[in-house]
Amino acid sequence: MRYNSTTDKSIVVTASQAIAQGISTDGGLFVPMEIPQYSMSDIDALTKLDYRGRAKKILADYLDDFTAEEIDECVEKAYTKEKFGSDDPAPLSYQKFGDVDMNILELWHGPTSAFKDMALQILPHLLTKSLKKTTDKEAVILVATSGDTGKAALEGFRDVDGTKIMVFYPVDGVSPMQKRQMTTQEGENVAVCAIKGNFDDAQTGVKRIFTDPALVKTLNDNGYLFSSANSINWGRLLPQIVYYFSAYSEMVNDGKIKLGDKINVAVPTGNFGNILASYYAYRMGLPINKFICASNSNNVLTDFIATGTYDKNRSFYATISPSMDILVSSNLERFLYHMTDGSDAQVKEWMTALKTTGAYSVDDATKAKITDIFTGGFCDDEKTQQIIGEFFNKYGYLCDTHTAVAVSVYKDYVEKTGDKTPTVIDSTASPYKFSKAVLEAVADGETLPDDEFAMVDLLSEKTSTQVPAPLAALKSKETRFTNVCAKEDMADFVLGTLGVK
């Protein structure tokens, strides 16, 4: 199994190189050169396994330069009962919204209460093993975050041998809960620093450090190298394929579908990673009928699927589903590569247009191929809160703002098409990560407390649902990281933390 770049097929690497490197030297993303094929009897075999067993099988088929023991170790360390609250890290919850069945795939039972844990609990293990195969240095992971990714990466890399992780967040750019999650982070190999600037400044600062030859050399001389945990790494995408096979298996086991029946998937989408993982599952043989791509008011993907034109020249909205506030969905590049049967030249042309003009249009044949299996829709903040309120008050299920976007778009789809295919709806975060917006949605009009933890308690009281233990525990946790630095001083922070001059 080899991987090549989406924009230059002559660049070919092994699985561990793809993961260690993160991104191709030509700026393209790594894609598998062939996709493992599962027959119905292979899928039948998966139904007999637990989540970890399914993960081992699927990972082994993509990571052929890992030994079975190495994959076992990665999976066993990542998806523990201790970290995910049960032996099934991705449970399904069968709900109804009016007469529409909602098979909600809860992906947020991990340590940071967002679906990023599904990949970031295992990536550190995959990455350290990949690094061992390709270098003898210790990895310094740098992350710029607007909230969810930083915390999930910290928690994933905490106390992982051979790694150090440093996270930079904009001092006024994250929610109170997200800030507390990061500043109280435990672990011997972690550091967190707020920067006086916005998310773009943090991102630019990290990129500058990555590419500063003098800094890279200083690190090298001291036995370190920089590495990345962002969502373009194949090692973050691959673990997400597993939960689609797992959800299908559970629905077969629960008698919701028969082996071989088709399902739809509805995914609240930002960077296009999660929904792309479901597409890989489909290409491997999982019977999927339609991919329902749900966006918030930043509906660049809805327009792309409807028109074939991707255009990021538009207003940016800060919404109550902030993890989907994104105008450049990086993983779309991989999807386009597969939709053009691997035309690296074509993908390169579109990506260059995106960089230079902010827009590109795909040809009619590609557009037809996309709309054959994909449909898109969006939902604004007002509708999102209305859905949360109705789903809870009428039908008794509490969901977060991102999940509500998918629920809304799926409801619209069913109304428009009458499609009765059983559908898996990805639930990507705990409602307690976005307490204010969720509380407003279920509390109709009463005055809410200002304090984050008072809101969390009130939400729990009103909805008779439990606050995830790691979020509740933050209230009494000691703050470890109070550093705030100027954006020009990020490199000094890195060197100082490493004790390197």
The binding track of 60-99 with respect to ligand PLP, each residue x by CB under 6 A or -, is ----------------------------------------
Active site members: 116
Question: Distance between CA atoms of 63 and 49, rounded to whole angstroms?
Answer: 20
Of 128 and 423, nearer to ligand PLP (C-beta) is: 423
From 18-26, 50-58, 262-270, 364-372, span contacting ligand PLP (CB under 6 A): 262-270
Binding to ligand PLP in span 392-421, by CB under 6 A: 402
Gap between the Cα atoms of 206 and 168, Å rounded:
8
Q: Which is nearer to ligand PLP, 16 or 302 (CB)?
A: 302
Q: Segment contacting ligand PLP (CB under 6 A): 110-118, 335-343, 409-417, 490-498?
A: 110-118
Residue 200 neighbours by CB under 8 Å, 6+ apart: none
Q: Which residues pair with 100 in a beta bridge?
A: 97
Q: Which of residues 111-130 bind ligand PLP (CB under 6 A)?
A: 114-116
How far, in Å, CA of 400 to CA of 397, rounded? 10
- Among positions 309-328, residues that touch ligand PLP (CB under 6 A) are 323-324
By the rule CB under 6 A, 272 interacts with ligand PLP: yes
Which of 313, 116, 347, 135 has its CA nearest to residue 233? 116
Cβ within 8 Å of residue 313, ≥6 positions away: 358, 359
Residue 22 interacts with ligand PLP (CB under 6 A): yes or no: no
Of positions 268, 376, 377, 431, contacts ligand PLP by CB under 6 A: 268
Residue 285 zone, left/alpha/beta (φ > 0; ψ -120 to 50; rest): left
- Looking at the Cβ atoms of 219 and 300, the one nearer to ligand PLP is 300
- Near ligand PLP by CB under 6 A: residue from 61, 70, 148, 201: 148
487 close to 196: Cβ distance less than 8 angstroms: yes
- Residue 274 as a binder of ligand PLP (CB under 6 A): the answer is yes
428 binds ligand PLP (CB under 6 A): yes
CB of 420 to ligand PLP, least distance (A): 26
Out of 14, 181, 269, 385, the only residue in the binding site for ligand PLP (CB under 6 A) is 269
Q: Are 389 and 231 spatial neighbours (Cβ–Cβ below 8 Å)?
A: no
**Under rule CB under 6 A, residue 273 binds ligand PLP:** yes
Integer Cα distance of 354 and 270 in angstroms = 17
State which H helix or E strand residue 196 sits in.
strand 190-196
Check: CB of residue 120 under 8 Å from CB of residue 153. yes
- Select from 24-32, 79-87, 263-271, 284-292 the region that touches ligand PLP (CB under 6 A): 263-271
Number of residues that bind ligand PLP (CB under 6 A): 16
Note whether 14 binds ligand PLP by CB under 6 A. no
Which segment (136-144, 264-272, 336-344, 370-378) binds ligand PLP by CB under 6 A?
Answer: 264-272
420-442 b/e with 16+ CB inside 10 Å = b?
eebbbbbbbbbbbbbbbbbbbbb
- Pairwise CA distance, residues 447 & 444, whole Å: 9
Smallest gap, in angstroms, from Cβ of residue 149 to ligand PLP? 7
Summarize as ranges the residues that interact with ligand PLP (CB under 6 A). 114-116, 148, 268-274, 323-324, 402, 428-429
